[in-house]
Amino acid sequence: MRKNCYIYEIEYTYKNGYRNAHKILSKIDDPDKIKNIIKTQLEKSNKARFRVVLGDENKLRITSGWLLRMDLRSYTLKSLGIF
């Protein structure tokens, strides 16, 4: 049986002012837990890794995404529902 994956949108701003957003997948249903995981990863290894959903509803692709602490100014996370 497959466990549900939850989809979130992470919006981030780099130190040079560039802004971007991606949809990410997680098996965790609590956005605060995911924020803590990302924060811990950034503090321990200066990078955070997650699964990114690319494409539209007709053609989806899941790949690895990274945030690097040295480039990152801020980020926010919001829940979009179940994938």
Quick: pLDDT tens for 2-54. Answer: 568 899 999 999 999 999 999 999 999 899 999 999 999 999 999 999 899 88
Residue 60 confidence class, pLDDT cut points 50, 70, 90: confident
Of 55 and 49, the one with more pLDDT: 49
Q: 9 Cβ partners below 8 Å, 6+ apart?
A: 21, 22, 23, 24, 77, 78, 80
